[in-house]
């Protein structure tokens, strides 16, 4: 029989003693990394897969900015895979738009009066994933200005059948001013009415 691994708890950390060699040269399994906040697994990608994903990301970005897919298609490398899923969704190198832009995103505030005080263009964008096994959803995204600079990062947990509370946080980046409560409430409402509603 294999020997048990002793675990001690100290100051908020699990301290695992390195076990001696077990029978047949086996050692204890390596520690499992913590899951993504959305609960979805994120296996490591090879450099080739990362490049293919970057091509897909660039394609959907250009298609979004130019409001047409033709220019985005013209800029694709020759070896790019362009297919349709069984549901008719466009796949670039196996990646869909939804991996980079949640349904209903981006949310555009041309006059800056809804989410900011300075009257400047604002773009809210992000992705949505399953938040838990009870039908909850998790939005992770950013608020950017006309220059594409990230001003705030957003995290929004929307509960499903359980009785958990909604969790909405807005984190300012660098020296950006803290978002007012009125703008924060408006942002949460916009995400619920224009994005989360598409997943319910």
- Count of CB atoms situated within 10 Å of the CB of 52: 20
Give me the mean pLDDT over the 102-126 stretch: 77
pLDDT at 31: 46
The answer to whether residue 11 scores a pLDDT higher than 50 is no
* pLDDT 10s digits, 13-71: 444 444 444 444 444 444 444 444 444 445 677 888 888 989 988 888 888 777 778 88
Q: What pairs with residue 110 in β-bridges? A: none
- Count of CB atoms situated within 10 Å of the CB of 2: 10
pLDDT at 194: 92
CA separation for the pair 2, 152 (Å, rounded): 51
DSSP string, 38-93: TS-------HHHHHHHHHHHHHHHHHHHHT-SHHHHHTS-TT--EEE-TTS-EEET
* pLDDT 10s digits, 70-85: 888 899 999 999 999 8
- Count of CB atoms situated within 10 Å of the CB of 109: 20
User: Residues near 170 by Cβ (< 8 Å), separated by ≥ 6?
Assistant: 143, 152, 153, 154, 179, 184, 187
Domain chopping of the chain, boundaries: 48-99, 107-199
pTM beyond cutoff 0.75? no
């Amino acid at each position: 029989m294999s020997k048990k691994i002793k675990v001690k708890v100290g100051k908020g950390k699990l301290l695992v003693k390195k076990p001696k060699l077990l029978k047949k040269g086996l050692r204890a399994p390596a520690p499992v990394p913590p899951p993504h906040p959305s609960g979805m697994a994120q296996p490591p990608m090879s450099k080739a897969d990362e490049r293919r994903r970057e091509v897909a990301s660039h394609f959907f970005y250009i298609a979004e900015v130019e409001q047409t897919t033709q220019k985005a298609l013209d800029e694709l490398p020759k070896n790019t895979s362009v297919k349709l899923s069984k549901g008719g969704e466009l796949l670039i190198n196996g990646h869909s738009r939804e991996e980079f832009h949640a349904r209903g995103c981006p949310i555009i505030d041309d006059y800056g009066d809804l989410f900011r005080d300075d009257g400047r263009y604002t773009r809210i964008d992000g992705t949505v994933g399953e938040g838990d096994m009870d039908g909850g959803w998790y939005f992770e995204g950013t608020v950017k200005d006309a220059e594409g600079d990230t001003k705030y990062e957003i995290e929004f947990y929307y509960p499903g059948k359980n009785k958990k509370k909604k969790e909405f946080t807005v984190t300012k980046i660098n020296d950006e001013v803290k978002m007012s409560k009125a703008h924060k409430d408006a942002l949460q409402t916009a995400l619920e009415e224009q994005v989360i509603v598409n997943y319910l």
